[in-house]
Amino acid sequence: MTEFTSPLRAPAPAAPATAVELAEQVVHLARLVHGNAREDGLTPAQWTALRYFARANRFSRTPSAFSEFHATTRGTASQTVKSLVALGLLERRPNEQDGRSALFEVTPAGHARLAEDPLGALGTLIDTLPAEDRRALATALSRLTGGMSRLRAAPIFGNCVDCGHCDTSLDGPAYCRCTQSLLAESEMRALCADFAPANLSAPR
């Protein structure tokens, strides 16, 4: 008698991840970045602050602007900044445009420390993605960040290249209508606390 055997079935395709599962993956990925931090290393908040002040433009290197970027209280942001000053990674300088506040600059020691940034490992992995995937990722993250900022009534940070305040129609350096200042080429990719998406702030 011939034994009956059922044909092999192809495995059912995996169901697409739900929105909540994708959100959990994003949060988990962020935690993995700092998961193997050295005991003498910086805290995630300190790393975020050091990165921020390294990327922020000259109008946005203040504790209050950092508190908005980091979505934390001004007191907590101030303590984080003070800790980096104590470590010699940031230095306080007078704000020539506003005597009531101070600006903070990354010191040479701070820039050297950024060479050890744990976020670099994630950047390396992103670089291995095909260009099409990187573009799709950039678009998706931009939409998610902007959407979450609007839900939380939080400011949206961006750079001059994509900002509606930036006027590049004139010959020479770009002009910022918000700060009424000329912008150097090196500032065009810097983070700004006064960023406004071009499609929302363009003159009508």
Query: Could you tell me what percent of the chain has a pLDDT over 70?
Result: 85
Average pLDDT, stretch 52-62? 92
DSSP letter string, 45-69: HHHHHHHHHHHB-TTS-SHHHHHHH
pLDDT range class, residue 204, cuts 50, 70, 90: very low
Average pLDDT, stretch 101-119? 93
Q: Which position has the higher pLDDT, 144 or 1?
A: 144
- Name the burial class of residue 166, with classes exposed (0-12), middle (13-18) and buried (19+) by CB atoms within 10 angstroms of its CB: buried
Judged against a pLDDT cut of 80, whether residue 37 lies above it is answered with: no
Q: Of 6-10, 90-94, 97-101, 153-157, where does the model show the most confidence?
A: 90-94
Tokens representing residue 129 in the block: 């993605």
Residue 6: strand, helix, or coil: coil
pLDDT of amino acid 85: 97
**Residue 70 CB contacts under 8 Å (≥ 6 apart), including other chains:** 45, 48, 49, 52, 77, 80
The domains found in the chain, sorted by start residue, are: 41-117 (1.10.10.10)
